[in-house]
Amino acid sequence: MKDQLVKRLTEYYKLERFHVIWISLFGLFLNVKYGWRPSLLLTYGVGLIVLVLAQGTYYWRRKLATVQGEGHCPERVLRQFHRYQWVNVGVIAAYPVLVLLLKNEFEDTWVAQTHTGWALFAYAFGVAEHVNYYHVQLMYDNRNDWRFLRVYRRLKVAALRKDFKTNTF
């Protein structure tokens, strides 16, 4: 049982780390190709995704270390994640302000100049990642998760939120 958990947590953190790297490179590519001003909203959304996925990478790595008996100072780690949660909320809340500021600057060419559809998709995806880590689990990738969803007909509480409630890691 422990070996399966170690394997799954290892896969989670490595997969999230991979996503952080390639999505960051994608954001860099967008800035090089289109310039930073027209891509600002899209880059902001991609940055939000990378921010939350980096926190996820760190979370799964710390969780793995705890399962393997290497975890140190779980209270400190939980305090870090409480701070990260509020940083995320600030970044999420600042997005509409940025939209309004840029809309005034690009008035005539708003959609063409800001990649609006993709920017909103990236922002929504970043918000969904935040919800997935800090509130309710949105990603169901194994048999036990699907069984829970089928039996209880509701979303699971996110693992990090459970850790917050129990104040353990």
In a domain, 116, yes or no: yes
In terms of residue numbers, what domain contains 102?
Answer: 2-135
In a domain, 168, yes or no: no
Q: What's the pLDDT at 101? A: 81
Report pLDDT digits (tens) over 104-147: 766 655 445 557 788 899 999 999 999 999 999 998 888 888 89
Instruction: Answer whether residue 59 shows pLDDT above 90.
Output: yes
In a domain, 98, yes or no: yes
What's the whole-number mean pLDDT along residues 28-36? Answer: 84
φ, ψ of residue 158 in degrees (nearest 5):
-60, 145
Q: Residue 147 has which token pair? A: 């069984």
Contact 40, 115 (CB under 8 A): no
Instruction: Answer whether residue 71 shows pLDDT above 60.
Output: yes
Whole-number Å distance between alpha carbons of 169 and 162: 9
pTM attached to this predicted model? 0.89
Contact 84, 55 (CB under 8 A): yes
Report pLDDT digits (tens) over 83-96: 999 999 999 999 99
For the chain, what percent of residues have pLDDT higher than 70? 93
Block residue for tokens 């409480």: 82
Q: What's the pLDDT at 114? A: 57
Q: What's the pLDDT at 13? A: 93
Block residue for tokens 């289109």: 34
Whole-number Å distance between alpha carbons of 169 and 160: 8
Q: What's the pLDDT at 92? A: 98
- DSSP-derived 3-state class of residue 36: coil
Cβ contacts of 57 within 8 Å, gap of 6 or more: 13, 16, 17, 20
In a domain, 97, yes or no: yes
In a domain, 162, yes or no: no
In a domain, 42, yes or no: yes
Q: What's the pLDDT at 106? A: 64
Total domains present in the chain = 1
In a domain, 10, yes or no: yes
What's the whole-number mean pLDDT along residues 35-41? Answer: 78
In a domain, 151, yes or no: no
The partner residues of 157 in beta bridges, in order of sequence, read 136
